[in-house]
Every structure is written in C-alpha cells, then in structure tokens.
Structure 1
Amino acid sequence: MGYGMTSPMGNDDAYLVCLNLRKQSTHELWCDGRSVCSTSYEGGTIYVLDLRRDPIAYIGDPLHSLYFYLPRQAVVEASEELGKKSIVDLAVQPDECFLDTIVGSIGQTLLPIFNTAAPANQALVDHLLQGLCVYMTSTYGGSQKRPDIVRGALAPWQQRLATQILRERLIDGVSINELAEACGLSAGALARGFKKSIGVSPHQWLLSRRVDLALDLMADTDVSLAEIAFNAGFSDQSHFSRVFTQKMGVAPGAWRKSLANNRRVEAA
C-alpha cells in the first residue's frame, strides 16, 4: 500500500538533485498542482526537483536516496565563473529520470564520509558539493519556462487528499460524492479536476492501483487468479482479467506464465 504522500517541500528558490541508490517501483510526482510523472526508476538514476514548483511525491517503497540541496543563486554564480552568464536555471524537467555516472560517483564517495564524524572530512564534503554544483550547472544549465497551472485542476492539497483516500479505500472503493465532499467540491468539479490534474478519472486511477497490487500478489504462484482478483479489490476474476489485459496488454494468466518462465531461466 506504500507510505503515502510527502509533506510539502517548501517553495525555496532552489533545486533538489535526487540520486536514487536503489530501484523504486512507484514514482508519482506532482508539480504546480499537476501530475508530471507516474513511473518507476532504476538505482543509480537521478532527477531534479525545482522547489519553486511545489513538488509533492507519493512514496511507494522505502527510500534509498541522496538529496542535494542546490540554491538557484549558486547555479547563477557557478555560471558566471564558467563564463556562461546566460545560465539562470537547471533546464531539467521533473519527469526526466536518467543515469548520470558523475553524480552517482559523487554520491558514492560521500556515503562513507557521512558515516564518520571526523571534522577534517568537512572540507572534503564542501569540495565535493561545490564540484557537484559546477558540474550540474555546466551540464544541465540553461533557461526553462515553467508551465502554467491548468485551470480547473485540483489544488495540490486536494490531489494529495483524493489519492490518499483512494489508496486507503483501494479494496472497498469510494464514491465520487465522498471524494468531492472531502475536497470541498461538487462531484462534477472533482471528476473534471482530477482528470485535468492526473490525466485519468478517479475510477481509472483506482483500477491502475489495483492492478499494481495484483502484480505484487501474482508473485506467489500458490495463490489462484480468483483469489488475487478478490484480494486486489476486483468484483470477480472476469473483471480482473479484462482490466489487467487492457492496462498491461496481456492476460493475467499469460503474465504469470511468463514470470514463471523467466524465473526458471534465471535459476538455470
């Protein structure tokens, strides 16, 4: 069921450079009240959050990450030192998650330093962080236009509350009227705002989360598909099969068979 939504991260004129030390199976991110990313990411990858855009994330797995706080003024000063005065931002969109071996190497160098309390290490930490700032500026510096907030979209707190309620009621379900009342909206405004903000209706979003749960349950080969359908909140196995096939492009039985075949190949 995951760990829920993060608290607001503030609206500092700064960035968070996020180094993912391990794979995260669920990565859902909102900026400026809009859903900008809903995917997984691999260990060793990075993404950049602009704190001016009110980023909020859903945490599905335990976090194993390093976060580097980078004031935008530091980017501007680094660009001047590099002779590139046109650089005023890190031109990386929040839905971009990619491998960067330099940032990864800096992070791996810092990890053992953080585990010691030697005062002499502070100079090394400062040097590495200054190098990270210069590297990020020279590699990803530019100018970016912040997208306008979509009219009619849910406010960030409404998105957080609606998705939180949907997760808590994943099995039993929840009506649009209940969601709307919790968010202080009419049912129609909630439905329209949810789709504008996240890209799908509340019901489709709920079905996707049920499929995610079913995928986890299918790892246990001793549990039947009928039991999985029930435990994931579907009305019956037929309904589960239709939704799963629509979203995954393959029937659940074929998915499970492929999973078992892959395990046999890995074990061979």
Structure 2
Amino acid sequence: MRMNHGAFGDRLGRSFHLNNPPVLHSQTRHGVRLAVTELRIDQSGYGMTSPMGNDDAYLVCLNLRKQSTHELWCDGRSVCSTAYEAGTSYVLDLRCDPIAYIGEPLHSLYFYMPRQAIVEAGEELGKTNIAGLAMLPGECFRDTIIGSIGQTLLPIFNKDAPANQSLADHLLQGLCAYMAATYSGSSIRPDIVRGALAPWQQRLVMQMMRERVFEGISIGELAEACGLSAGALARGFKRSTGMSPHQWLLSRRIDVALELMADPDTSLADIAFNAGFSDQSHFSRVFTQKMGVAPGAWRKSLANNKRVEAA
C-alpha cells in the first residue's frame, strides 16, 4: 500500500496506531478525493501520534469526546496546548507535518479535504482568490453544521449500501463547500512576517529537503533555488518556521523513524541508518530532544499500547 495516498482510512489509522478504522469516501466534480475517518481510542495515556503524511490537504476534526489536554506540534514546533469540549472542531494543515499528543480516550471524526477541493468548491461559489482554509493550527471552535454532518454520518460507517454512499457523497461534498464558503482565506497574505521567506520559497525549500531527507542538501542549493544568498535563506527560513533548515530536516528524519519504529523487528541501529542519521547515537540524541523520551522508551510504549488493544 502506498504511504502517501492521503491522510484517511488506513493511512490515518497508522498515525494513531489503529488498524482499519472506519472510513467513508467521496469526490468532487473534478475527481478530487474527499473522505472522513472515525478514530476511537478507549484507553488513557496513549501518547504521541506518528506523522500523518505530508499532503496539500486539511483534516477537519470533529471532537466527539472531551479531552482536558490537547497538544499539537506543527513543523516540529508546539502550536497548541489546551483542552477541548465534545462537539468542537479544529483544522490541521497537513503541509505542516502535524503531530498530536493523545492523553485521554479519544473519539473523533477526521474529514480529509485537499486544498484543491476547497479551491474548486470556492470557484463554484464565485470565490476566485481562495488559497485554502484560514484557521490557526489547533484552534478549537464550535460549528453546528460540522457537528450535525458528523452525527448524521456516524450511523453509516461500515454499512455498504447505495443509499448510504449517496448520503456520504451529499454530506462530504456539502461540507467541503461549506468550509470553502465559511472558513477559506484569500491568496493575498498581508500577515507575512517581516524578513520571512515568501510562501512559495518556504514551500519550495521544504519540498527540496523532503526529497533529500536521507542524503541531505546544502544551504547553497536551497538559496540558489529561491534566488537568495545562503545567509538570507537561513535567516528567512528560521523567521518563517522557528527553526533552522538543518533542524527542520532532522525533524523530518524523526518522522521517518517514527514510521519505521512501528515494526518491532527492526533494530534502532537500522532505523537510524534508514532514516538518514549518521549513527544510532545521533539518532537517539535528536529523537530525545524532539520527543522528550528516548527511542527505546517510545518503542516500549508502542508495544504496551498494542498489548492493551489486544487484551
């Protein structure tokens, strides 16, 4: 199975260490995929999610169960640490590599909406300058439309019937149009931080580093692609993301390592090598700095979670 087909269904389930979560699919008029996945975790202290995949898309989360602790990291930075109530929602931008901490039992619906679907829906509504959804990372809000659509979809998960598919199509496409009409933002960005990279430069640099995550890439190459000096590139990237290009690249290598650690038969030395680290010691040091726990303890936590699930 391809790992980058989209953050829904099995792919999203792997990020939360869940197997075969229920999922409903649809698509826009132009064939852009839409989906909603139901995720349920019944025990406390579950820990960190794995990377959700890098995708030019959003996850609109409907929280069906209260959590007193909601911690979210984007591009390796903590962006949200607060509680949320049942019935609230928040939006994750998958271009920012979100990772969350799950401290309590969870029950949520995750609506997968590619940015292109939002743009397409906006154009059908006569809005021609939409860039995507304009929401702060992890910002919780209460929206009765999102809540009502989620509650209507809940009973038809895992029920294969033509009428159910028609209902899923209607509601997922309708929600996409609603999000475009209500929460979309203009392509004009007046709030760009002074001295930061332009949005296209930041996207290009991140994409180039993702493509060279194992062997690495020089600041000079990144700067040349953006038409900047090496110093301007490094300063602008840190103003944009809060970290240096090298720190950001190390965070992506940790993302790869988190995926590999799901296999209990792969040694930490092999994981370090396959994730692009110079050796296991370097991997352990960076992992502990980012995740707050050593790789061995993280793997032990994963094993304990699986034993609890199987019990």
* TM-score normalised by length of structure 2: 0.52
Residues 152-204 of structure 1: CA deviation (Å, up to 9, x unaligned): 11111111110000000000000111110111100000000000111111000
Which residue identity does 1:65 align to in structure 2?
Answer: Y
Deviation for aligned residue 1:228 = 0.2
In 2 relative to 1, CA 59–149 (structure 1 residues): closer, same or farther, beyond 3 Å?
A: closer
- Is contact 1:27–1:37 with CA below 8 Å preserved after alignment? no
Q: Following the alignment from structure 1 to structure 2, what is the Cα–Cα distance between the partners of residues 220 and 164?
A: 27
Q: How does 1:170-181 map to 2 (within 5 A)?
A: 170-181=213-224
Q: Please give the root-mean-square deviation of Cα atoms over the aligned residues, in Å.
A: 4.6
Match of 1:94 in 2: 136
Q: How does 1:134-149 map to 2 (within 5 A)?
A: 148-149=191-192
Q: Following the alignment from structure 2 to structure 1, what is the Cα–Cα distance between the partners of residues 218 and 172?
A: 52
- Is contact 1:45–1:100 with CA below 8 Å preserved after alignment? yes
Higher helix residue share = 1
Deviation for aligned residue 1:149 = 1.8
Identical residues among aligned pairs (%): 61
Q: Following the alignment from structure 1 to structure 2, what is the Cα–Cα distance between the partners of residues 125 and 156?
A: 29
Tell whether 2:21 aligns with 1:21.
Answer: no
- Is contact 1:3–1:60 with CA below 8 Å preserved after alignment? no
Deviation for aligned residue 1:21 = 2.3
Which residue identity does 1:198 align to in structure 2?
Answer: T
Tell whether 2:266 aligns with 1:223.
Answer: yes
Which residue identity does 1:204 align to in structure 2?
Answer: Q
Which residue identity does 1:256 align to in structure 2?
Answer: R
Q: 1:65 aligns with which of 99, 112, 126?
A: 112
Match of 1:150 in 2: 193
Tell whether 2:221 aligns with 1:184.
Answer: no
Question: Residue 95 of structure 2: SS of its match in structure 1?
Answer: strand
Flag structure 1 segments of 5+ consecutive residues without an equivalent. 5-18, 30-35, 50-55, 75-91, 141-145
Deviation for aligned residue 1:64 = 5.2
Q: How does 1:188-207 map to 2 (within 5 A)?
A: 188-207=231-250
Deviation for aligned residue 1:98 = 3.9
Question: Residue 58 of structure 1: SS of its match in structure 2?
Answer: helix
Q: Following the alignment from structure 2 to structure 1, what is the Cα–Cα distance between the partners of residues 4 and 231?
A: 29
* TM-score normalised by length of structure 1: 0.60
Tell whether 2:255 aligns with 1:212.
Answer: yes
In 2 relative to 1, CA 261–246 (structure 1 residues): closer, same or farther, beyond 3 Å?
A: same
- Is contact 2:75–2:248 with CA below 8 Å preserved after alignment? no
Deviation for aligned residue 1:105 = 2.6
Match of 1:232 in 2: 275
Question: Residue 95 of structure 1: SS of its match in structure 2?
Answer: coil
Q: Following the alignment from structure 2 to structure 1, what is the Cα–Cα distance between the partners of residues 207 and 88?
A: 27
Q: Following the alignment from structure 1 to structure 2, what is the Cα–Cα distance between the partners of residues 249 and 125?
A: 38
Tell whether 2:296 aligns with 1:253.
Answer: yes
- Is contact 1:211–1:244 with CA below 8 Å preserved after alignment? yes
Match of 2:306 in 1: 263
In 2 relative to 1, CA 244–96 (structure 1 residues): closer, same or farther, beyond 3 Å?
A: closer
Match of 1:13 in 2: none
Q: Following the alignment from structure 2 to structure 1, what is the Cα–Cα distance between the partners of residues 280 and 261?
A: 13
Match of 1:165 in 2: 208
In 2 relative to 1, CA 158–45 (structure 1 residues): closer, same or farther, beyond 3 Å?
A: farther
Question: Residue 228 of structure 2: SS of its match in structure 1?
Answer: coil
- Matched residue count: 206
Flag structure 2 segments of 5+ consecutive residues without an equivalent. 7-33, 40-50, 57-72, 81-86, 99-109, 127-133, 157-161, 184-188
Structure of greater Rg: 1
- Is contact 1:207–1:243 with CA below 8 Å preserved after alignment? yes
